Structures are given as C-alpha cells and as structure tokens.
C-alpha cells in the first residue's frame, strides 16, 4: 500500500493526503461534508478554468472587446455563468457585452453594500456619499424601470455610472437613446436630473411601427471642469468609452441607437458617432460645435439649439460645420412649447419644443421644423474669445 504524505500544512488540516503515485485522497478523519465541499471546490475551479480558457481563445479573433465578451458569455454553460457571477462579480459588473440584467444584479449588490457602509459610519467622504445615495434615489422612481448598468464609485465623487431607463433587455425594443451630459456633469450632482432628461426624451419618442424605446443616462467619462473646457482631451477619452458602450448595446439588441449629447456631451457624441458604425444618429443639443464630422456621416447629425444659447453660439469645436456636410439644424423657434426653451439648460423641459424634436429624431423621424441658422447676437464671438484666452492662459491644447 502506498505511503501517504501531507499535501501541505493547510490541506493536512482539511484532512487530505497525497499518495506516492500523486493522487489526492481524504484521510479517515475527513467528514463527508468536507469531502463534498472539497469535490465541489475542484469542480468550481475546473469550470472557471474552462471559462477563462474560452475567453483567451476568443481574444485572438478580429472582434471588438464587447463582441468578444458577448460571444464568450453566450458560450458558457448556465453553471459557469453562475459561478463567475458569484465568485468574480468585479470582472462582469462594468464589462460591455455582458447582459444588462447580469450587470444590474451585481451592481445593485455593490450599491447596497456601499449604502450599508455609509449607514454604519464607515465612509466619511461627503461627495462619495452623495454619489451613492443619489444613485440609489435615481433607481427608485415610481412607475419607471431602472437598470444599473455601470456602477463605479470613486473618492471625491469622481466615479462613473450608467442607468438604463425602460425595458433595456426587451426583444421588442426598436429605438435606444444614450443621453450624455456635458460641462460639470459629475454623477453626484447630475445623475438624478440626467435620468429625468432621458425619461422625457423617451416620453416624446413614440416609435414608429409600435415598437418600444429605452434609454441610458450615461456618465461614463470624466466631464471637464472650467480649466479643461476649451480642450478636446476629455471628449476624446469619453468618446472611446462611449463607443465601447454602444458596441455593448449592439450585442444585446438590434435596435437603432441614437446618441443625444448636451453641451460638451455633444462633442463627445460627435466623436463617438464618427468612430462607431453602431451609431445610427447623433443629436447635438446646445453643443458648442462638433469636431470634424466625417464625410458621409453628417447626414445622421441633428443639431437642436435655442436662439439665445450663448454656449452653442460659440461654435468653439466646429472647424467643419455639420450643416455644411449634410447635417440638419432643427429650429425650435415658433414651435409649440418653444417658450419653455431658453438659454443653455432648458432643452429637456417636458412639453418643450426641443425635447419633442429630440424624441422625433430618436424615433427615426425627421422633424418637420424648418432649418434655421443659429443666432445669439454678438455673444458667440465673445464666448469664443473668452475660451481662447482661457486656453492660452492655461496652455491647453485645443486641437
């Protein structure tokens, strides 16, 4: 009979020994419960190893990261998916291409854990607490379904969050709106109002063909402060993340995707629309211009602006005007509800002409509003001048 030697101190404690032939067997002191637990642990490791090996193979295919992730997840057995969700939730929670309902389950658990930490007094970062509690409040809107697609808290409130509005995982969805905030769109301050803005767009969408619409309140980039405002740096980084998110949406639904970018978020939306073939339309709402709208894509760009919006009139980021390449400038002046849209921050007012025009674009309709030129008196040139001075003073690269 082969002599037995302990695997190591820890496994010896668990009642396992290795024979000279290399096989592992339980000792006579091991209880049936420990044996079954050990066997289950071995099975889990094998299943997880198989899952990771499948992902490695897909990494060699010419797919986008979101497409690889989606195909990998679909190739796993229900048991493997369950094990990954239970044992490695951080790998899945914010990964584009993972089903929204899976990410929602995981992220809500993370959110609940943070709420408990705050309630117990463990967290003393005030902005972090605002971040967590405002997200919790945004998820509990009576009569509205919410999905916590991304939850990434950081200290000082500089985290990221994406909340789905409506039936984001329904096969009947035909239209998707991704609403992107602009200047100072920090999640601890903005997520509640951004979710409301998304709801207002969906309320006005009324898709053709009887299909459903859903939306995402997307704060997936670090929005610029005053010093970063004249620069494209934050927009470029945000566009990469937004493009990945849209590719993830595309793996979950065949619906048309429209990015709605407000203010500086319009700059992010324009860049992402240039780079992504999954974006069907882009709506620039009160945006200070659109950087380099690619040939052949400007026809998918719609510009919604109020005549007295001084920020939009600056056209700071418009070396190539989208209207000149086939884009459409939608006039809201004189339209029903236009009296609700003044300045830079009233575009999503319920019942307003602007949000109705945005809803039409998301639904796949071209608004009947006649095209018009922007006008904000001499304020446009004044704002451009102020931005140039700021860029020069802070030595910011604006190209």
Check pLDDT > 50 for residue 394.
no
Is the pLDDT score of 379 beyond 80?
Answer: no
Q: Among 30-39, 203-212, 220-229, 244-253, which stretch is predicted with the lowest mean pLDDT? A: 30-39
pLDDT at 355 over 70: yes
pLDDT in tens, 227-284: 666 778 888 899 999 999 999 999 999 999 999 999 989 989 989 988 888 999 999 9
Q: What is the mean pLDDT of residues 41-70?
A: 74
CA torsion, ordered 358, 145, 183, 232, to nearest 10 deg: -80
Q: What is the CA radius of gyration of the chain?
A: 26
Please tell me the pTM assigned to this model: 0.79
Mean pLDDT of 54-72: 81
Residue 15: is its pLDDT beyond 50?
Answer: no
Q: Which residue reads 């909340």 in tokens?
A: 163
Residue 119 has pLDDT above 60, yes or no: yes
CA 29: distance to chain centroid? 53
Percent of the chain at pLDDT exceeding 90: 35
Percent of the chain with pLDDT over 70: 68
pLDDT on residue 245? 96
Residue 285's pLDDT band (cuts 50, 70, 90):
very high
Tens digits of residue pLDDT in 123-155 = 888 888 888 999 999 999 888 999 999 999 876
CA distance 117 to 105: 19
């Amino acid at each position: 009979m082969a002599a037995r030697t302990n695997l190591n101190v820890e496994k010896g404690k668990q009642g396992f020994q290795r024979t000279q032939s290399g096989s592992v067997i339980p000792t006579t002191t091991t209880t049936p419960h420990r044996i079954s637990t050990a066997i289950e642990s071995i099975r889990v490791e094998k299943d997880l190893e198989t899952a990771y090996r499948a992902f490695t193979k897909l990494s060699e295919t010419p797919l986008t990261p979101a497409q690889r992730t989606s195909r990998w997840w679909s190739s796993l057995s229900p048991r493997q998916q369950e094990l990954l969700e239970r044992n490695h939730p951080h790998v899945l929670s914010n990964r584009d291409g993972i089903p929204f309902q899976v990410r929602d389950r995981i992220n809500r658990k993370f959110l609940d854990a943070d709420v408990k930490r705050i309630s117990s007094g463990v967290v003393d970062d005030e902005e972090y607490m605002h971040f967590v509690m405002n997200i919790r409040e945004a998820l509990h809107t009576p009569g509205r379904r919410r999905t916590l697609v991304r939850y990434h808290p950081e200290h000082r409130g500089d985290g990221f969050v994406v909340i789905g509005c409506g039936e984001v995982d329904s096969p009947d969805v035909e239209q998707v709106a991704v609403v992107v905030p602009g200047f100072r769109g920090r999640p601890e301050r903005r997520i509640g109002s951004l979710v409301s803005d998304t709801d207002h767009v969906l309320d006005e969408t009324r898709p053709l063909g009887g299909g459903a619409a859903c939306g995402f309140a997307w704060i997936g980039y670090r929005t610029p402060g005053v010093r970063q405002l004249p620069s494209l740096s934050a927009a470029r980084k945000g566009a990469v993340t937004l493009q990945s998110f849209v590719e993830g949406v595309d793996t979950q639904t065949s619906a048309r995707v429209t990015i709605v970018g407000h203010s500086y978020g319009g700059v992010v939306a324009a860049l992402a629309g240039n780079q992504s073939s999954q974006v069907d339309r882009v709506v620039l709402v009160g945006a200070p211009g659109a950087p380099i709208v690619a040939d052949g894509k400007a026809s998918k760009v719609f510009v919604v602006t109020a005549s007295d919006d001084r920020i939009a009139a600056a056209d700071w980021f418009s070396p190539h005007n989208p209207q000149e390449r086939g884009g459409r400038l939608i006039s809201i002046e004189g339209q029903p509800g236009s009296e609700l849209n003044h300045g830079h921050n009233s575009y999503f007012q319920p019942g307003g002409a602007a949000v109705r025009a945005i809803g039409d674009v998301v639904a796949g309709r071209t608004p009947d509003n006649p095209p018009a030129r922007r006008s904000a008196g001499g304020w446009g040139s004044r704002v451009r001048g102020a931005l140039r001075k700021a860029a020069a003073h802070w030595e910011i690269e604006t190209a």
